[in-house]
Amino acid sequence: MALRPCGTYDQSYAQDMAILRTRLQWILLIVGLVILFTAPLYLPGRWLNLMNLIGISLIAVLGLNILTGYCGQISLGQAAFMAVGAYTSGVLTAKLGWSFWAALPCAALSAGIVGVIFGLPSLRVKGFYLAMATLAAQFIIPALIAHPLEGITHGVRSLIVPVPKIGGVAFTSPAQIYCIIIPIAVLMTFFAKNIVRTGVGRAFIAIRDNELAAEVQGVNVFAYKLLAFFICSVYAGIAGSLWAHWMRALNPDHFSLIDSIWYVGMMIVGGLGSTAGAVFGVAFLRILDEATKVFVMWLSSVFIAWGAFLQAAFGPIVYGLVIVLFIIFEPRGLAHRWEIFKISYRIRPFAY
């Protein structure tokens, strides 16, 4: 259990429930958000681009964390649910001329509904078997997009998606699209953090910890499992919609099984069942991926004759190696390491 900030006493239930308990925490949050929201004014586009990718991945992983981390239901279809949201948003804006702002909630809803359909087997199967059931989504949804729905989605020929607009301003540059993605990611993080503090969240946790005990206590297990799938897929749908308008072209290849596995990997590296863990996991793996690319690019400029080989092999090897070492030395995720750091700070100078 985490220690509370020294000298902080609760005098009401509201204080007991609060996420931010001290003025320092509020100030740090405000300063952090000011830095985050004003980043387009001082960060170069390549960093904003990375932040955009982190923001979209974060939304997808937050949804997965609610389903898997809190409700205990494994899903290997998160990228496919993203595809549903992406294509809903893409088709509505590109073909029907809708605004991005109107298409976004539709994308979330459509992905949520599809997620519920693929969540139905969760009543009968668990663990690896449920993983296999959700894996089906990863095959069925891209195949549906590529073939039977080709007339609407353009299939494997990319669907060109318009950029979001407000009035006459088109959000084209990394800085502009950042200003849409990051506030939405912040809001979705806020919702994710709070969903798990409600009765619904506690029901999810009860199901994860002991399904039978939860049912005996009156939790409608099936309904809550489906609700978890719905929320998870709504998050995926929003991530997919943002992806579509950031990429400006959609192809079923964008939403592969390997992406779904990486989302699970990000959640595990960050720490299952922790909102902060999702943030850490996504940021860590995305930055690591980018850092290895930059490092290998530099390396290949030094060893010119070996450039192609270095870039082909070295990047993925370094990336994989760091992850393996990380899992060996910190299997409980970055969130756990963060908690240790906070506790150590609070009880300083005593040892943790």
Partner 1 sequence: MNKNKFKSVCLAVLAILLATALAIGCAAPKAQPTAKSAKPDKVVLYHFGDLSGPYAPITAAIVAGLNDFLEWYNTEGGGVDGVPVEQAFRDTGGKVDAAIAAYTAFREAKPYPIVELLYQSAESEALRDRFIEDKIVSFTAGASPTCIYPPGYQFAMSPAYTDQIGAFMDWLVNDWAKKTGQKPRLAILTWDSTFGRAIMVPEVDDYAKKVGVDIVYKGTYGVREVDATTQMTGIKASGANWVYDNTAAFGPKVVHQSAEALGMLNKNTYDTTPGKIHRASCVWGVDESSVNLSGELAEGMVGPRSWASWAMTDVEGVKILTAQADKHNRGDFERVAGYLVASGVAYTVLDCMNRVVKELGWEKLNGENVRAEALKLRDYSPLGMSRLTYMPDKLEPTQTRICQVKDGKILAITDWVTCPDLRPYQYRK
Contact, 78 vs 260, CB < 8 A? yes
Q: Which of 98, 173, 265, 332 binds partner 1 (CB under 8 A)?
A: 173
CB of 17 or CB of 328, closer to partner 1 = 17
Only segment of 21-29, 83-91, 119-127, 220-228 that touches partner 1 (CB under 8 A): 21-29
- 40 to 79, contacts with partner 1 by CB under 8 A? 40-41, 44-46, 48-50, 53
Phi and psi of 274, rounded to 5°? -145, 125
* Rg (the chain; Cα; Å): 21
For 173, the enclosing helix (H) or strand (E) is: none
Neighbouring C-beta atoms of residue 258, cutoff 10 Å = 9
- 272 to 331, contacts with partner 1 by CB under 8 A? 290, 293, 296-297, 300, 304-305, 307-309, 311-313, 315-316
Q: Residue 81: name the closest of 192, 238, 309, 202 by CA.
A: 238
Q: Which of 6, 253, 303, 352 binds partner 1 (CB under 8 A)?
A: 253
Q: Which of 169, 213, 223, 327 binds partner 1 (CB under 8 A)?
A: 169
Contact, 269 vs 334, CB < 8 A? yes
- Taking the C-alpha atoms of residue 340 and residue 272, their distance in angstroms, rounded to an integer, is 16
| Cα separation values, 159 from 94, 114, 180, 188, 234, Å | 8, 21, 21, 27, 22
CB of 31 or CB of 325, closer to partner 1 = 31
- Taking the C-alpha atoms of residue 273 and residue 350, their distance in angstroms, rounded to an integer, is 29
CB of 285 or CB of 296, closer to partner 1 = 296
Q: Tell me how far, at minimum, the Cβ of 201 lies from partner 1, in Å.
A: 22
Determine if 175 is a binding residue for partner 1 (CB under 8 A). yes
Q: Tell me how far, at minimum, the Cβ of 58 lies from partner 1, in Å.
A: 14
Tokens of 181: 């993605």
Neighbouring C-beta atoms of residue 219, cutoff 10 Å = 18
Q: Tell me how far, at minimum, the Cβ of 349 lies from partner 1, in Å.
A: 29
Determine if 215 is a binding residue for partner 1 (CB under 8 A). no
CB of 124 or CB of 157, closer to partner 1 = 157
Q: For residue 10, what is the DSSP state?
A: -
CB of 164 or CB of 273, closer to partner 1 = 164
CB of 41 or CB of 212, closer to partner 1 = 41
Q: Tell me how far, at minimum, the Cβ of 315 lies from partner 1, in Å.
A: 6
Determine whether 337 is exposed, middle or buried from the number of CB atoms within 10 Å of its CB (0-12, 13-18, 19+): middle
Q: Which of 174, 237, 271, 273 binds partner 1 (CB under 8 A)?
A: 174
CB of 35 or CB of 347, closer to partner 1 = 35
The alpha helices in the chain, defined as continuous H runs, are: 13-17, 23-37, 45-64, 78-94, 100-119, 127-146, 150-153, 174-195, 199-209, 211-216, 221-247, 257-270, 275-302, 307-309, 315-329, 334-346
Point out which residues bind partner 1 (CB under 8 A).
23, 26, 29-30, 33-34, 37-38, 40-41, 44-46, 48-50, 53, 146, 155-158, 160, 166-167, 169, 171-180, 182-183, 186-187, 246-249, 251, 253-254, 290, 293, 296-297, 300, 304-305, 307-309, 311-313, 315-316
